[in-house]
Copies of this chain bind each other. A is one copy, B any other.
Amino acid sequence: MNKWIAVDWGTSSFRAYLIKNNIVSERIETKDGMKFINNNSFEKTFISLIENWLDDYQTIEVLASGMVGARQGWSEAPYQETPCDLNNIKFISPLINDNRIALKIFSGISQIDQPDVMRGEETQVAGFFLENPNFQGSICLPGTHSKWIKVKDQNIVKFQTFMTGELFEVISQNTVLKHSVKSNKTDQEELLKSVDLIFKHPSLFGNALFKLRADDLINSRNKIIYKSRLSGYLLGLELLGSIDYWKKSKIALIGNKELNKLYSYVLKDRVSSIVFYEAEDMTLKGLKYFKEKIK
C-alpha cells in the first residue's frame, strides 16, 4: 500500500493529511501555526500531532510546504527564483531524530527584480496545474497577502503581492474605523461603487478611509455600508495595481469561498474568463503534483 503524509504548515494553522493509495484517509487541522512554535520544538510538535499515523517498523514519507520552510520555520528551504518551473521544484530534507518519518520541505519562490516572495502559494498553483496543465494566464490567490501570478507552461513567470487582507484586518480592528465597519455581510452595489471610486481616484484612498468614519458620525448608516466600502477601496486598489495581470486575460481564482465570490463578482465583466478553486484542495493536490515530479 502506498502511504504518505501531506503537510500544510502555515503561520497561523497546521493541516496534515494521511494519504493511502492516493486518497485522503485522515485529516488533522489545528491552530498550531508556526508563530506559536518554539524554535527547537518543531519536530516534537509535529510528531505529537501525527503520532497516531506512525508505524515503528516503517518510515513514512512526509511532504510539506508553506512557512514551515521559512528561515523562522522548522528548517529553511531556500527560495527558488522566478521564472520557476514547478516541474523542477526543489526541497530540503532536514536531519530529524525520529526514524519513523522521512521529511521533505519544498522551497518557496522569490523574485529579484521586483522584490517579492511566496511560500505555500506555489503549491496551490501546482495543484491547479494538476487539473489544468495547459493553462496560460493569471492566477489570483486572494487573502492576507493577495498574490497575482502570471503562469505559462507550468512555470511561474512573475508575480505581485498586495497586502489587501492584512490592511483590511488592521484597519478594521486597530483604527478609528473599528466602530463603523463591524459587519460580516457585504452590500454588492456599495462594494462595486467603492471599487469604481478607487479606480478613478486611487490617491484618495487615505481620505476615503476617514470619510467612512465621518459619514458614520454624521449620517449613521448601516454598518454593512461602511464595511462594504472598506472592502471595495482595498479591493479596488489591488485590482488597479494588478491590472496587467487580469485585463482581458484568462483568470483562475484560488481562495476560500467568500473571497472567490467577492473577487469574481468584481472581476467577472472585466476579464476574458474566470474559474475558481478552493485553496485547501489545491494545496493538497499541489503536494501530490510535487510528489509525482520528484520520483
Q: Which residues of A come within 8 Å of B, CB atoms?
A: 71, 79, 110-112, 114-117, 145-146, 160-164, 166-167, 170-171, 174-176, 198, 201-207, 209-211, 213-215, 217-219, 234, 237-238, 240-243
Shortest Cβ distance from A163 into chain B, in angstroms?
5
A166-B176, A170-B170, A170-B171 given; A234·B206 CB < 8 A: yes
Q: Which residues of B contact A110 (CB under 8 A)?
A: 214, 217-218
Q: Which of B114, B115, B170, B240 contacts A174 (CB 8 A)?
A: B170
Chain B minimum-CB-distance residue to A217:
B117
Given contacts A170-B171, A217-B117, A218-B112, contact A161 B205 (CB under 8 A): no
Contacts of A242 in B (CB 8 A): 207
A189 to B163, CA, bound (A): 25
Smallest CB gap from A175: residue in B: B166
Cross-interface CB contact of A211 among B114, B174, B201, B243, cutoff 8 Å = B114
A150 to chain B, nearest CB (A): 14
Residues of B within 8 A of A210 (CB): 116, 145, 161-163
CB-nearest residue of chain B relative to A206? Answer: B162
Whole-angstrom distance between the Cβ of A158 and the nearest chain B Cβ: 12
A75 nearest CB across to chain B (Å): 16
Nearest residue (CB) in B for A218 is B115
Please, how many angstroms separate the alpha-carbon atoms of A215 and B116 in the complex?
Answer: 7
The distance in angstroms between the C-alpha atoms of A219 and B242, with both chains bound, is 24
Contact A237 B170 (CB under 8 A): no
Say whether B176 contacts A215, CB under 8 Å: no
The complex places the Cα of A71 from the Cα of B202 at a distance, in Å, of 32
Question: In the assembled complex, which residues on chain B have CB atoms less than 8 Å from the CB atom of A217?
Answer: 71, 110, 117
Q: How far apart are A124's CB and chain B's nearest CB, in angstroms?
A: 18
Min CB–CB distance A36 → chain B (angstroms): 16
